[in-house]
Amino acid sequence: MRFLKENELIARFMAMNIGSGIAVGMVNFILPLFSLSLDATTAEIGLIKGMMGVGDILIVLPAGFLIDYFGTKKMYTVACLFGSFMILVMSFAQSPTMLLGLMIFYGISRSLRTTSLNASFFSNMNAIGIRKGGWFKGAMTAGAQFIGPLIGGFAIIFLTYPGYFVLASAFLLVPLVVLYLSTNGEKSSDTGPKLHLWESLRYYRNLLKNKLLVSATLTECMNSACFMTFSTFVTVLIVVNFELSPSIAAILIALRGIAQILVVIFCGRLLYENHNNLYFISYIMIIISLLLFGTNSNIIILAAAAVIMGSFSGLMTLLTFTNVGSIEGERGKIAGIFAIGTSIGAIFGPVYGGFIGDTFGVQNIFLGFIPLFVTMACFYLFIGRKQNIAGNISRTIHLKN
């Protein structure tokens, strides 16, 4: 009982992240298959997934302003309800073009929901403790990259597309149930001072001068691009190229997810090592996993590659999220800047991958990302070491948390 009481706050965040993550994971899993049923090309599938990122980028900076003005609880509620509605509407898409448009609005709801919860978590990180920060992201990963794809792979066997989307939309309402039951209808108390638009823009400009925030956002961009590309095209690779069951793709996505979960939850001690070195190692290992995906058809090897990718993607997530959470300032706007990385990655990854797939073949999509990750590895090897932009956490903080 004492353990539960001491961890009540982080447990609430985790439950909300798992519920919304399942919905996200189910949507991410079904979109390539649903797009194929609408006769979409590989490039169109990439564009459809990329449109989520367009929705993200449209709302990400206004989201920070809205969250600081109205509070996280109100904005999170609106985002969940709107997102659930958009998932239902997806089932009525009759063409890839129609689905493209719907994904923009889904991306808006997703970005607003994620930024709201991130801002609330950042403001409570000191109370929760740095070592438990990975639990928060681990819960989202558990829902989006493990439980969601597994439920999706099982549900598609028994449900039509409309039934599938109804089930996914229902999971997005679970966080609201958790939120309002755990807060007993309390009003949000995390609204900040009411800055005018010009003051907000000036504040954003100052945030962009923070090297730690910028480097974390850049890494988040690459991490997001890699994940969105993987979750989109591994399904196409398995179903179309290898002519195997969608369930195999769901298992590969889940393996990547469970590896990431284990790292972000149980590897918190790595936060007290040199962050620059950890980033460099992570990029190198993800390059190896991309090489394996781009040159093999053996499912066992692909499963191992998925685990490698998930593990070191998880390490990147652990580093970036903790670094951003340590930055002082208005949490909504800090979370908004950080979310730009996710948004740009969500646009660039699937679109870039889709055009590579149409031109050179689906499996070459993974090879096409290797030069980008080599560039980032060199950045941390040569520039990061000199300028100390990756951030490090003192071991004295470790003792306190």
Question: Looking at the domain assignment, is residue 49 inside a domain?
Answer: yes
Cα distances from 357 to residues 124, 187, 346, in angstroms, run: 43, 49, 17
Question: Looking at the domain assignment, is residue 187 inside a domain?
Answer: no
Q: Taking the chain, what is the end-to-end CA distance rounded to the nearest angstrom?
A: 20
Count of structural domains, the chain = 1
Question: Looking at the domain assignment, is residue 117 inside a domain?
Answer: yes
In this structure, the number of other CB atoms found within 10 A of the CB of residue 248 comes to 19
Question: Looking at the domain assignment, is residue 191 inside a domain?
Answer: no
Question: Looking at the domain assignment, is residue 92 inside a domain?
Answer: yes
Question: pLDDT 10s digit of each residue in the chain, 401 long?
Answer: 444 455 778 888 899 999 999 999 999 999 999 999 999 999 999 999 899 888 888 887 787 778 877 888 889 999 999 999 999 999 999 999 999 999 999 999 988 898 888 888 877 877 777 666 677 778 888 898 899 999 999 999 899 999 999 999 999 999 999 988 887 655 554 555 555 556 666 767 777 778 888 888 899 999 999 999 998 899 999 999 999 989 899 999 999 999 998 998 888 788 777 888 899 999 999 999 999 999 999 999 999 999 999 999 999 988 888 778 777 777 667 877 888 888 899 899 999 999 999 999 999 999 999 999 999 999 888 877 665 555 555 443 343 33
Domain that holds residue 164: 2-181+202-400
CA dihedral 227→327→272→282, nearest 10 degrees, is 20
CATH code, domain with 145: 1.20.1250.20
Question: What integer pLDDT is reported at residue 389 of this predicted model?
Answer: 55
Question: What integer pLDDT is reported at residue 385 of this predicted model?
Answer: 67
Question: What integer pLDDT is reported at residue 398 of this predicted model?
Answer: 40
Cα distances from 395 to residues 130, 208, 268, 270, 385, in angstroms, run: 11, 27, 12, 11, 20
Tell me phi and psi for residue 369, to 5 degrees.
-90, -15
Question: Looking at the domain assignment, is residue 273 inside a domain?
Answer: yes
Question: Looking at the domain assignment, is residue 197 inside a domain?
Answer: no
Question: What integer pLDDT is reported at residue 120 of this predicted model?
Answer: 83
